[in-house]
Structure 1
Amino acid sequence: MNDEMHLKLLKALENNPTATQRELSRELGVSLGKANYCLKALVDKGAVKANNFKNSKNKLAYAYLLTPSGIEEKTRLTARFLKRKMAEYELLKKEIEQLRQEVATAQSTEN
């Protein structure tokens, strides 16, 4: 499971602990099997705790709660994601400035 998927899943569970795996798979844009696999990995890692409860349809359901280590993991992943996106942003700004200069140079030679 990559860090971005891990972070998205932790955020989704934090926002809606009673979401079903089917709802999570739709929200994250992944298959039900992948959602199940990723969720199980978080439970096995100790980042998420699954509690059973009876839902309104009288079926067994789960509440997925972030553990203290899950909250720490989410914070760490958020910081790493932000750092990576800021680096991408800086590179993109440089590329845009180079393209602007190329366009300006091309326009000045045409005139």
Structure 2
Amino acid sequence: MELTKTHLDDAICPVARTAEIISGKWTLLIIRDLTSGVKRFNQLERSLCGISPKTLSERLRSLEEEGVLLRRTFAEVPPRVEYSLTEKGRDLVGVIESMRSYGKRWLCDDQTNQK
């Protein structure tokens, strides 16, 4: 009997489901930047050198749909929009910190950090 992967497997497996949320290019860096607090679109765009406005908009929309971040719009002229992490988003900080530790230990150029 051959086992085949189904979409249901992705929904049930917590690793696959988490990877689905954070796997997009720039996604983890957006979350990383929001760990320090509320940010506006232009602040995120400046801190993420090389990201296009279209890509940033798509990632922010996706993270909002997943409940990872909160988008707050203010009725001002010009309109002001702020982004912040939800509790679900703040829980991803541990994942980012683990990746930072791994990168420092195994991927940095400093030979004294590599084993």
Partner of 1:15: 36
CA distance in 1, matches of 2:96, 2:35: 14
Partner of residue 63 from structure 1, selected from 77, 82, 98: 82
- The amino acid that maps onto 2:64 is V
Q: Which has the higher helix share?
A: 1
Structure having the higher Rg: 1
Deviation at 1:67, TM superposition (A): 0.4
What is the RMSD of the two structures over their aligned residues, measured on CA atoms?
2.6
Which runs of no fewer than 5 residues in structure 2 stay unpaired?
A: 1-23
CA distance in 2, matches of 1:14, 1:77: 10
Structural mapping, 1:1-111, within 5 Å = 1-2=24-25, 5-15=26-36, 17-20=38-41, 22-29=42-49, 30-55=51-76, 58-89=77-108, 93=111
Q: Is the 8 A contact 1:18 1:64 kept in 2?
A: yes
Deviation at 1:47, TM superposition (A): 0.7
Secondary structure of residue in 2 paired with 1:41 = helix
Q: Is the 8 A contact 2:37 2:84 kept in 1?
A: no
- The amino acid that maps onto 1:93 is Q
Deviation at 1:92, TM superposition (A): 5.7
Q: Is the 8 A contact 1:7 1:74 kept in 2?
A: no
Structure 2 length as normaliser, TM-score?
0.61
- The amino acid that maps onto 1:41 is S
- The amino acid that maps onto 2:90 is I
Which runs of no fewer than 5 residues in structure 1 stay unpaired?
A: 97-111
Structure 1 length as normaliser, TM-score?
0.63
How many residue pairs are counted as aligned between the two chains? 89
Deviation at 1:86, TM superposition (A): 1.1
Deviation at 1:44, TM superposition (A): 1.5
- The amino acid that maps onto 2:96 is L
Cα distance 1:27–1:63, how it changes in 2: closer, same or farther (>3 A)? same
